Amino acid sequence: MFNEVREYSLFSQTSAYVVPPEIPSEVHQLPYGFTSGILYFQFEKKNINTEVSVKDRIMMIVPVIIMLSIILIETRAYMFWYILPMMDQIGFFTSTYTFSSLLSSKYSLHFLIFLALCINLYISTLLTIFTPPGEVIQDLQLEANNLRENIFQVMISEDFLEKMKKHGNCERKRTLFPRFCRSCLMVKPDRSHHCSVCNKCVLKMDHHCPYVNNCIGQKNYKYFMNMVMSGTAASVFISFTMWEGVKMAWENSEYDVNYQVYIGIAYFGNVVLSVVLCAFCFFHFYLISNALTTIEFREKMTVKFDKSPYHVSCLNNFVEVFGSNPFVWCLPLSKVYLGPNSSDPLLSFKSSESLHV
């Protein structure tokens, strides 16, 4: 972050000195904090393009349309190429078919399970798209004076440090300077990063997902995981149950050849999608169990460290993401923490959301 910095000066109540230009690269360290004095430093502000062209807006929407189209195609294929043909095969659409026979049919059970997974997937997807990921509050806006062109001077006073402590610890760099954004001119709280696509700093940023045209951060990561889990479950469920319908279509000479080809492509395409989604889902389970984000996982490959400083335990790491009530972990609901009168042993865990209000 500080590769282009020209000069840094630290003025305390007792001394003043200039930090040498050989500034190390950014790494996660212990929480930052000064006890007294005023911090002055200069930096070169990054130029950001706030104007988005029509072409760029269209390109942002294309991945979202592709993902929603895949969901709708898979839903239609399962309903019209498996459920309805198999129900017709057992005589569901005849006048002699009874309601008791419907309840005892395995295809009715398949339909109900698939319907529940689809509703969960649709709601989770919409919440992931439209829920803000969590932005840095304005209290952490730096007091910056434009000296010349893109060169700014920033002053961090003791009052500002109190604001930083009020809203949680802010990581520091090896130079003892706080992590701050050269684009937004804001101090970065723990685990926050600037998204170059959204042009804003995101709290506990995991990554920017083009398929929902939104950043995945502190406020919508649970919805994102609900979307991934329900999508994975639905895709795997289709792979295991739809094979009977595919086999019937291939063995029945009454079906058109084009129909047999379409249903085969749809089925094996879904099998490939299931494998990809399973790998992606288990990767995020690994991240959650180790209290890592995708960005921190990539940092771990270059900056070697044994475990995340935010790691508590595997169970509490999942509680931090999904809430303390495991019955709603798979539902597209906001985090639920049980009340203070509950005997739930997970109440000893303190959510990091309280640090960024």
Catalytic residues: 209
The CA distance from 92 to 252, in Å, is 19
The CA distance from 78 to 80, in Å, is 6
The CA distance from 51 to 127, in Å, is 26
CA nearest neighbour of 172 among 24, 298, 38: 24
* Half-sphere exposure at residue 171, Cβ-oriented, CA atoms within 13 angstroms: 19
* The total number of residues written for the chain in this structure: 357
Token duo for residue 41: 């430093």
The CA distance from 36 to 54, in Å, is 49
Q: What are phi and psi of 31, to 5 degrees?
A: -55, 140
Within 8 A by CB and 6+ apart from 218, the residues are 133, 134, 202, 203, 204, 352, 353, 356
On whether the CB atoms of residues 181 and 202 are closer than 8 A, the answer is no
